[in-house]
Amino acid sequence: MPTQHEIAEHLDMSERNARDVLKGLTLDWQTASMDEIRTAYIRDLRAKAAGRGGSQLEELNRARIDDLQQKSANGRLVYYEKLRSLIPSGEAERALSDWASFANREYLGGLERIIQEIEKVQKLTVDRTVVAKVAGPTTERIAGYARKLGAELVGSSGEIQPAA
């Protein structure tokens, strides 16, 4: 049974390096012969050279994969930007807010025109407070949903202009 000092001399390395190498081998160096240790060391070196071994190699491969994925994602962003199909999230949030404001104004305007037509044809007066009890929550739900979508886009909460 060889000592770490003997193994280090045989493999032409420092004792410290030999300790590290022996930890990484798949054998018990305290019971193995010098030939078995040398063979295991050579096989370990070959595996590392072929890209099959070593924790640093695995980390390097992971880092390379991450880098390639980031480059690919950035390339897609540039591509979509050139196609003009990519818009900043702030602009999308603003568009949703504008749409909700417009939709609420149109909804309330159309409702008011219907009420006026009913009053004119039927010769009666419609109580606007009753209409507001239904129309108010409806416009609030439209505005709230647009706010929710906008907040999901930019991670904030923008305010929707009221319909009136």
pLDDT digits (tens, 9 = 90+) for 10-37: 999 999 999 999 998 888 889 999 999 9
Tokens read off for 44: 């370990």
Residue type (1 letter), 93 = E
pLDDT band at 62 (very low <50, low <70, confident <90, very high): confident
Distance of CA 113 to the CA centre of its chain: 47
C-alpha span between 13 and 4 (Å, rounded): 11
pLDDT band at 161 (very low <50, low <70, confident <90, very high): very low
**pLDDT reading at 3 higher than 60:** yes
C-alpha span between 161 and 145 (Å, rounded): 13
By the 8 A CB rule, do 61 and 47 touch?
A: no
Per-residue pLDDT averaged across 134-147, rounded?
Answer: 93
pLDDT band at 157 (very low <50, low <70, confident <90, very high): very low
By the 8 A CB rule, do 46 and 28 touch?
A: no
pLDDT of residue 54: 58
Tokens read off for 102: 């417009």
Per-residue pLDDT averaged across 114-133, rounded?
Answer: 95
C-alpha span between 27 and 41 (Å, rounded): 10
Give burial (CB, 10 Å; 0-12/13-18/19+) of 36: middle
User: What pLDDT digit, counting tens, does each position of 103-122 carry?
Assistant: 999 999 999 999 999 999 99
